[in-house]
């Protein structure tokens, strides 16, 4: 206790903003925020500080009525006619257009379908086939596990070699003509725009150019970026991208993912999971596969329409917002949390880059008892999550998290650490989902 108090005293002595004053400053920042009203578009339990919108986005308040309409009227009354009458058939492309606006993609280049894992498989196979004669697929060693598994699986299927290279080492590795080097060998590189663990934002224009310079194609995983940071796929010439619908896009649990294929690649790529929804003439019931034109060729089977239409409806919260505005609010929130953590939580190391340009919309804090700290925080009504091995991950979804929430989080974290609440034996036991 003595050690902790002295650490705290030292921190408070040098603090930029004492916690009492921080509440006032947060109120002023929230009052001046041009997007403050957007929080009112969400249903959140009163008093809860929700910092896990990077894992499961909050419920937009209008979505229950939209889903109710899908269930009662479209399914209950219109039944099978809904495929035409309510254009169920067009939902993947329609929702895709709404996602396209958020990630700076060309019209007709984004489709909502399947999970991120399945979509990644489809585009990595496509990318590998677009670069015949090249024998290496690259993924980051710290990428989200599914990305590593998919790249390994595609390599095995297509007879290529899978290699782990960190994004920061990529330009040098791509230029390396030595026996272990990658010069002239890379077919495709899979990169995550925002790292799920650290929250680091990569330089999409520079890395895309580096991979192209080496003759390869780049697949961006936008799961932790879309809806929170500007992406600019078209502007920067990205090849393929995928991402989750249930994080910052707020599509709900198990919402389908999205897939992007640059228009220049669509003709020569497509889903290796040839299915009737991706056929050029699905109702001709032909016995051999002929892919549909454009992004629709990445369709395969019947989509989960309740989830699909919930996501389509949820995307409406972005309709009148620019991603630049969203990014400004996100940076204000993450900077505020970094500043307060530095000043008041000396036991926790800020892992997320401090340079705003290298930061997504989360702040990750390292602590040896991170799992237990997160559980103790949740018990106090502040929901973040834990990521292996020692990360307290706090997602600041810019549409509904406030500067006041950030202060409350730091106050609760301080209280947890001061009282040693995380040492409670209840928090030693790991749940199935962490
Ligand atoms: C970066 C990243 N990629 C891929 C996935 C996997 O998505 P899905 O479960 O939809 O396949 C996740 C899930 O959290 C993720 O964070």
Q: pLDDT for 88-125, tens place per residue?
A: 999 999 999 999 999 999 999 999 999 999 999 999 99
Residue whose CA lies nearest to ligand 1 atom number 7: 116
Residue 1 has pLDDT above 70, yes or no: no
Distance (Å) from CA 55 to ligand 1 centroid: 9
CB 248 within 8 A of CB 42: no
pLDDT of 278 above 90: yes
Please name the residue ranges forming H helices in 105-197: 116-130, 145-158, 170-175
Tell me which H or E stretch contains 243: strand 240-243
HSE of 406, CA atoms in CB hemisphere, 13 A: 33
pLDDT mean over 263-280 = 96
pLDDT tens-digit readout, 373-406: 999 999 999 999 999 999 999 999 999 999 999 9
Q: What is the pLDDT of residue 115?
A: 98
**Catalytic member of 121, 196, 240, 246:** 246
pLDDT over 90, % of the chain: 93
CA pair distance 151, 184, nearest whole angstrom: 19
Residue 171 has pLDDT above 50, yes or no: yes
Q: What is the pLDDT of residue 431?
A: 84
Please tell me the predicted confidence (pLDDT) of residue 15: 44
Output the pLDDT for position 180. Answer: 87
User: Pocket of ligand 1, candidates 191, 196, 242: which has the most ligand atoms within 8 Å of its Cβ, to mutate?
Assistant: 196
52-56, 269-273, 283-287: segment of lowest average pLDDT: 269-273
Q: Active site residue: 122, 131, 197, 393, which one? A: 393
| CA 116 to centroid of ligand 1, rounded, Å | 6
pLDDT tens digit sequence for 330-347: 999 999 999 999 999 999
Q: Assess whether 247 carries a catalytic annotation.
A: yes
Active site residue 246: yes
Which pLDDT belongs to residue 12? 45
Return the pLDDT at 17.
Answer: 64
Quote the pLDDT of residue 78.
Answer: 98
Coil, helix or strand at residue 132: coil
Q: Is 98 a catalytic residue?
A: no
Atom of ligand 1 at shortest range from CA of 245: 10
Distances (CA, A) of 333 to 30, 310, 407: 10, 28, 10
- In the set 144, 240, 318, 371, the catalytic residue is 144
pLDDT at 16: 52
Please answer whether residues 187 and 137 qualify as being in contact, where contact means their C-beta atoms are separated by less than 8 angstroms.
yes
Res. 14: pLDDT tops 70: no
430 is catalytic: no
* Euclidean distance between CA atoms 395 and 416, whole angstroms: 19
The mean pLDDT of the chain is 95
Of all protein residues, the one whose alpha carbon is nearest to atom 8 of ligand 1 is 116
List all residues 6 or more positions away from 238 whose beta carbon is below 8 Å from its beta carbon. 204, 208, 218, 220, 260, 262
Give this prediction's pTM. 0.95
Please answer whether residues 405 and 389 qualify as being in contact, where contact means their C-beta atoms are separated by less than 8 angstroms: no
Atom of ligand 1 nearest to the CA of 224: 1
Condensed to tens digits (0 to 9), the pLDDT of residues 209-263 reads 999 999 999 999 999 999 999 999 999 999 999 999 999 999 999 999 999 999 9
122 is an active site residue: no
Out of 131, 134, 197, 247, pick the active-site residue. Answer: 247
Pocket of ligand 1 (CB under 6 A): 115-117, 144, 146-147, 192, 196, 221, 223-224, 244, 257
Whether the pLDDT of residue 7 is over 70: the answer is no
Contact in structure between 237 and 212 (CB atoms under 8 Å): yes
């Amino acid at each position: 206790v003595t050690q902790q108090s002295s650490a705290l005293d030292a921190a408070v002595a040098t603090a930029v903003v004492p916690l009492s004053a921080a509440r006032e400053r947060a109120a002023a920042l929230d009052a001046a925020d041009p997007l403050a009203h957007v929080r009112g578009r969400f249903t959140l339990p009163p008093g809860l500080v929700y910092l896990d919108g990077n894992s499961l986005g909050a419920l937009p308040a209008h979505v229950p009525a939209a889903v109710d309409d899908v269930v009662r009227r479209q399914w209950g009354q219109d039944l099978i006619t809904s495929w035409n009458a309510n254009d169920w058939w067009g939902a993947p492309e329609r929702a895709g257009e709404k996602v396209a606006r958020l990630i700076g993609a060309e019209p007709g280049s984004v489709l909502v379908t399947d999970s991120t894992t399945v979509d990644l498989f489809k585009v990595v196979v496509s990318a590998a086939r677009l670069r015949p004669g090249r024998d290496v697929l690259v993924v980051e060693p710290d990428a989200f596990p599914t990305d590593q598994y998919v790249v390994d699986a595609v390599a095995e299927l297509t007879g290529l070699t899978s290699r782990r290279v960190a994004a920061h080492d990529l330009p040098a590795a791509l230029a390396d003509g030595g026996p272990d080097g990658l010069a002239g060998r890379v077919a495709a590189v899979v990169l995550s725009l925002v790292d799920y663990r650290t929250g680091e934002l990569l330089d999409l224009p520079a890395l895309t150019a580096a991979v192209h310079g080496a003759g390869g194609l780049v697949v961006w995983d936008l799961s932790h970026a879309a809806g929170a940071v500007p992406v600019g796929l078209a502007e920067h010439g990205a090849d393929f991208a995928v991402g989750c619908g249930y994080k910052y896009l707020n599509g709900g649990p198990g919402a389908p993912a999205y897939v992007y294929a640059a228009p220049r690649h669509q003709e020569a790529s497509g889903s290796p999971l040839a299915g009737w929804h991706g056929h050029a003439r699905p109702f001709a019931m032909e016995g051999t596969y002929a892919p549909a034109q454009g992004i629709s060729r990445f369709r395969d089977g019947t989509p989960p329409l309740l989830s699909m239409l919930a996501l389509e409806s949820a995307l409406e919260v972005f309709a009148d917002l620019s991603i630049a505005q969203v990014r400004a609010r996100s940076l204000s929130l993450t900077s505020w949390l970094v500043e307060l953590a530095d000043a008041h939580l000396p036991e926790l190391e800020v892992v997320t880059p401090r340079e705003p340009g290298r930061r997504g919309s989360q702040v990750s804090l390292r602590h040896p008892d991170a799992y237990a700290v997160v559980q103790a925080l949740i018990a106090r009504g502040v929901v973040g999550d834990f990521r292996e091995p020692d990360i307290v991950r706090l997602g600041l979804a810019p549409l509904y998290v406030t500067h006041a929430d950030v202060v409350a989080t730091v106050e609760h974290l301080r209280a947890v650490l001061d009282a040693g609440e995380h040492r409670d034996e209840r928090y030693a036991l790991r749940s199935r989902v962490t």
